[in-house]
Amino acid sequence: MKDIKYCLVLLVYLLSGNIVELKSQNISKRLEPAIPLRNPDRGFHLESNYFVHNYINPFNRSETYPGGFVDERLKQFGAEKDSITLTQLYLYLSDYVDRDIPQEAFERMQVIFDNLEAKGFKAILRFAYNYTGLNTSGGETEAIISRHLEQLRPFLRKNLGLIATCQMGFIGAWGEWHNSPLSKNQEAKNKLVNTLLDIFPKEYCLQMRYPRQKELLTLDHPDDWKRIGFSNDYFTAGEHSHAPENDFVPGDENYEMVLKDASGFFMSGEIPYAENTEWGLHDLISVDHSLQILRDHHYSAFDITQNNELNIRHWKNYEVYPQKLDSLGIPYDIEYFRGKNGNVLSRSAYDFIRDHLGYRLNLVSSSFERHKNTLSYSICLKNTGFATVVNPHPVYLVFISEEGKIALEMKLSNINSKDWQPYRIVSGKYETITHRMEGKLPVSLVEGIYRVAIWMPDAQSSLVHHPTYDIKWVENQGVKHMYNEKAVLNIVGLLKW
């Protein structure tokens, strides 16, 4: 009966004004989907859950690691062609709630992280004890959480490059800080948050569930406030009856609090399960409103595991196109909608959201000139994603000889890619920002013609020459990707030396 309702809801929508609106804009055809740009720390993600003590999924006891991991989830949700690089990884410490985490547990966790690296993925990581949910207790105490955090410190530091963000977790049902013996223990919460902030270097962001939880914190270092983002585990575009205090509803205090600092931290979300229950979301939510929220709160990641059969499927049938996005104030690059013949076509909302979560870097112009032994360079770019490059990625200029060999690479130490925000609001309108990298550098090269490239590896030394984790710019305006065993280079211009 529930499936019939879903189908009817979808059918009613597909017969409604969206198709008429497309025709009125003279956009009659959807652009054929191409292979999406695969980049780290951003995009759709899929969920995995494991007990640390035995690799079993608490919610599906027939599923044991590597069951339920990246490859299986990609197939299960039809996402093999979506260039996904993230998994939301829940690790349940339930068996150790009254004792130390043993060495064999760390070995099991390391197997999972080694597999993440082998597949070019990162984790949105959460630890928890209580997997049974509401009106139950995981039995966690302030003392055991503190002990486990100190045990986890070297493990988290070792795998830092494979963690897109770490969620505060540990306390309460599914690590969401409710239904816990510590629910009213603010001192324990402060200690947990400050310890995690200390474990992760200051360039990295962590996540909490609710803005009101963040407001109550006492931080050891006030500057850490802007490092704490949010995981919106009840994304309903503010349209569910339980949205107040659970979702971040446009116009309410929680929404405004997230809005204030969202440009600087890691933001992710997930839609409730498509269940015909009190807490489930068994209706369609507005795609237009969802796009505006993803923009406002600078979402870097979004789950497609939950509500996949209803709202995520709906995104695949909902058309977006330049006029639509203009009316909503959503920045974009017109080339994203350009067909092979130069005509402007539509895309699905699913594809648009997939490709614009986090950052999307577009070259605007570039120039490179020699003045004796000095290089003058100017590179302009736009970021048409929802967010910036949140995690640290240094920027290098690389010079490639006519023989295809790297002749020189130079780190641009004055450039912080986190500054590449996607837009600013001018007179109430959203305006894409043009960012400029320019300067003069002493350069020693033999005479010849060089291709000039931007290289943006992961900041962690363990991943510097792991090209899967290099950032790729959009291939337009002459940008081409050059691959070798150590890097992915973005060719942005030519230099005669």
DSSP string of 89-141, one letter each residue: EEEE-GGGTTSPPPHHHHHHHHHHHHHHHHTT-EEEEEEESB-S-TT------
**pLDDT surpasses 90 at 29:** no
- The CATH architecture assigned to 361-496 reads Sandwich (2.60)
Q: Average pLDDT for residues 8-14, to the nearest whole number?
A: 43
| pLDDT at residue 25, as a whole number | 44
When pLDDT is cut at 50, 70 and 90, the band that residue 31 belongs to is confident
| pLDDT at residue 17, as a whole number | 39
| pLDDT at residue 134, as a whole number | 77
**Strand, coil or helix: what is 190?**
helix
Q: Average pLDDT for residues 178-198, to the nearest whole number?
A: 96
- Which residues lie closer than 8 Å to 119 by C-beta, 6 or more apart? 70, 71
| pLDDT at residue 135, as a whole number | 76
Give the pairing of strands 86-92 and 122-128: parallel
Rounded CA-CA distance 276/192 in Å is: 36
| pLDDT at residue 27, as a whole number | 53
**pLDDT surpasses 80 at 22:** no
| pLDDT at residue 391, as a whole number | 98
**pLDDT surpasses 80 at 13:** no
- The CATH architecture assigned to 2-328 reads Alpha-Beta Barrel (3.20)
Summary mean pLDDT of the chain: 93
**pLDDT surpasses 70 at 325:** yes
Q: Report whether 267 contacts 228 (CB < 8 A).
A: no
Quick: pLDDT tens for 122-167.
999 999 999 998 778 889 999 999 999 999 999 999 999 999 999 9
| pLDDT at residue 340, as a whole number | 86
| pLDDT at residue 32, as a whole number | 73
Q: Report whether 210 contacts 177 (CB < 8 A).
A: yes
Give the pairing of strands 347-348 and 319-320: antiparallel
When pLDDT is cut at 50, 70 and 90, the band that residue 9 belongs to is very low
Q: Report whether 30 contacts 345 (CB < 8 A).
A: yes
Phi-psi region of 135 (alpha: psi -120 to 50; beta: other; left: phi over 0): left
When pLDDT is cut at 50, 70 and 90, the band that residue 33 belongs to is low
- Listed in order, the ranges of the chain carrying CATH 3.20.20 are 2-328
| pLDDT at residue 382, as a whole number | 98
**pLDDT surpasses 90 at 26:** no
- Listed in order, the ranges of the chain carrying CATH 2.60.40 are 361-496
When pLDDT is cut at 50, 70 and 90, the band that residue 216 belongs to is very high
| pLDDT at residue 469, as a whole number | 98
Q: Closest by alpha carbon to 486, among 449, 444, 452, 457?
A: 457
For residue 478, the tally of other CB atoms under 10 A from its CB is 12
Share of the chain above pLDDT 90, in %: 90
| pLDDT at residue 136, as a whole number | 82
